Amino acid sequence: MELRLTDEQKMVQQTIRKFVEKELMPLENDVLRNEREGKPSLPPGKLKELQLKAKEAGFWGINTPEEYGGADLGQMMLALVYMEVAKTFVPFSFGGSADNILYYANEEQKKKYLIPTINGDKKSCFAMTEPGAGSDTQNIKMTAVKDGNEWVLNGEKTFITGGNEADFVMAIAITDKELHKSTRGREGVTCFIVDRDMGWKSEYIHTMGEWGPAGLVFDNVRVPEENILGELNKGYNLGLEWIGFARWIVGARAVGAAERVMQMSIDYAKERETFGKPIADRQAIQIMIADSAVEIDAARWLVLNAAYTLDQGEDNRHLASMAKLYGANMGNRVIDRALQIHGGMGYTRELPLERWYREARLWRIYDGTDEIQRVIISRNLLKGHVKLGQFI
Ligand SMILES: Cc1cc2nc3c(=O)[nH]c(=O)nc-3n(C[C@H](O)[C@H](O)[C@H](O)COP(=O)(O)OP(=O)(O)OC[C@H]3O[C@@H](n4cnc5c(N)ncnc54)[C@H](O)[C@@H]3O)c2cc1C
């Protein structure tokens, strides 16, 4: 067993770290100011410009198969890359990628949706959650009824990331009520690719963070038969696969952000004096620094193990839940401590800590809440699907 990064992994980590420090961190003040003024975080065209710079550094389609022009870095590399990118709150995403489930598209759909998404000419979103069905994804109500060569979609979706900007949505709807009931939601639902101009409407949802998802309304939206993604009545598994992809990555992001705010806290503690001494000399501050360092590394290993396991072609769902649950909570604790170490300054909008504090709260909710991760982890152990210490 080797517990150190390879030279290649170190090189990727260093390259992306330099990119983040040189291209993204200098934009932080502008991003904060724009957000405070209710403007988009980055001016139009800026994301594309940054993506092209990342491309020059070799980061394009980082998880996209090579046959589609991607770098297909593998999961360990992805984990390292996401940890580095999360050291800034500048809303950057790499160009050249598409949702994992879009690769189930047939050849026609690939030409129409997958390739333009990879090329950045189309934006997608994925919609499973409804006002009455979040954790309980098997309880969705949106229906699709066949009419000739088309399906007619009716219902609502909520909290859809990218739903305000997307050109098309991959929406999950019930296509066979009996099957849906008899399989307790596991079958009888289908994933439809629905262009915005087929008639669905979106509305911005204001949240406590800068991340504004959308509510979507489908009122007799007619979708051609050829827009079924994957198989009829088998859309539930696609939904789980979409959610599962991002799960452990939430942990990776938490590690990166936590590292950054802890470094800020260490620097601040050495320079801020109270009662004639730097606060770094106070045991109360040292305890916060020590606890945070231990927890960041614990989360890092969980994330790397989840990534490594997937690279080995093994089922990483148990580890992904553990990495997400622990990482998200670690991130919240560490950011809270960083804010505390900065005292009143931590609470101001002069520093980005309050912004991270608000963003981090989301990590415990989306892609499966803390409680749902605990349900999954305990169920796996109680039913004997996994054993303690299995994944080493
Ligand atoms: C910013 C944001 C972006 C999102 N992006 C997307 C997206 O792109 N696409 C999409 O489809 N969805 C998206 N979601 C939805 C997200 O996945 C759901 O909000 C999440 O799964 C929780 O569902 P809910 O909000 O309905 O809470 P509920 O399911 O109503 O849960 C409420 C509370 O009850 C707890 N609870 C529920 N069931 C159990 C149980 N069995 N045991 C113990 N406790 C339980 C929960 O943990 C939570 O604390 C997004 C959400 C947010 C906030």
Q: What is the DSSP letter of 228?
A: E
Non-local (6+) Cβ contacts of 10 within 8 A are none
Nearest Cα residue to 173 out of 158, 149, 153: 153
What confidence score (pLDDT) does residue 376 get?
A: 97
The pair of three-digit structure tokens given for residue 234, joined into one six-digit string: 């088998």
Nearest Cα residue to 289 out of 246, 259, 256: 259
The pair of three-digit structure tokens given for residue 240, joined into one six-digit string: 């789980």
Average pLDDT score over residue span 123-145:
96
| Beta-bridge partners for 337 | none
Three-state DSSP class for 263?
helix
Look over the chain and give the mean of its residue pLDDT values, rounded to a whole number. 96
Mutate to test the pocket of ligand 1, among 126, 129, 253 (most ligand atoms within 8 A of CB): 129
Q: What are phi and psi of 254, to 5 degrees?
A: -65, -40
Looking up tokens 């890092």 gives: 300
Residue 321 has pLDDT above 90, yes or no: yes
Under the banding of pLDDT at 50, 70 and 90, the label for residue 44 is confident
Three-state DSSP class for 155?
strand
Which element (helix H / strand E) includes 30?
helix 28-36
Q: Long-range contacts of range 194-197, CB-CB < 8 Å, 24 or more positions apart?
A: 194/153, 194/168, 194/169, 194/170, 194/218, 194/221, 194/223, 194/227, 195/167, 195/168, 196/166, 196/167, 196/168, 196/169
Any ligand 1 atom below 6 A from CB of 145: no
Under the banding of pLDDT at 50, 70 and 90, the label for residue 50 is very high
Output b/e per residue, 74-91; b: 16+ Cβ within 10 A: ebbbbbbbbbbbbbbbbe
State the distance from the centre of ligand 1 to the C-alpha of 370, rounded, in angstroms: 10
Under the banding of pLDDT at 50, 70 and 90, the label for residue 378 is very high
Residue 266, amino acid: I
3-state helix, strand, coil in the chain (%, to 5): 55, 15, 30
What confidence score (pLDDT) does residue 304 get?
A: 97
Prediction pTM value? 0.96
What confidence score (pLDDT) does residue 295 get?
A: 98
The pair of three-digit structure tokens given for residue 108, joined into one six-digit string: 């026609």
Contact 345, 264 (CB under 8 A): no
Residue 392 has pLDDT above 90, yes or no: no
Any ligand 1 atom below 6 A from CB of 211: yes
Q: Whose CA is nearest to atom 24 of ligand 1?
A: 134
Q: Whose CA is nearest to atom 50 of ligand 1?
A: 159
Output b/e per residue, 138-163; b: 16+ Cβ within 10 A: eebebbbeeeeebbbbebbbbbbbbb
Non-local (6+) Cβ contacts of 74 within 8 A are 311
Q: Whose CA is nearest to atom 16 of ligand 1?
A: 366
Average pLDDT score over residue span 243-261:
95
What confidence score (pLDDT) does residue 280 get?
A: 98
Under the banding of pLDDT at 50, 70 and 90, the label for residue 245 is confident
Average pLDDT score over residue span 363-372:
97
Contact 269, 285 (CB under 8 A): yes
Contact 292, 334 (CB under 8 A): yes
Ligand 1: atom nearest CA of 135 is: 29
Ligand 1: atom nearest CA of 369 is: 47
The pair of three-digit structure tokens given for residue 127, joined into one six-digit string: 């919609």
Average pLDDT score over residue span 58-69:
94
What confidence score (pLDDT) does residue 325 get?
A: 98
Distance CA 103, CA 325 (A): 28
Nearest Cα residue to 353 out of 365, 362, 343, 363: 343
Residue 342 has pLDDT above 90, yes or no: yes
| 164-208 pLDDT per residue, tens | 999 999 999 999 999 999 999 999 999 999 999 999 999 999 999
Q: What is the DSSP letter of 209?
A: S
Mutate to test the pocket of ligand 1, among 135, 238, 240, 359 (most ligand atoms within 8 A of CB): 135
Any ligand 1 atom below 6 A from CB of 243: no
Distance CA 115, CA 97 (A): 9
Any ligand 1 atom below 6 A from CB of 363: no
Contact 165, 123 (CB under 8 A): yes
Distance CA 72, CA 63 (A): 4
Residue 246 has pLDDT above 90, yes or no: no
The pair of three-digit structure tokens given for residue 235, joined into one six-digit string: 């859309």
State the distance from the centre of ligand 1 to the C-alpha of 135, rounded, in angstroms: 5
Any ligand 1 atom below 6 A from CB of 220: no
pLDDT above 90 covers a percentage of the chain that reads: 96
For the chain, state the CA radius of gyration. 22
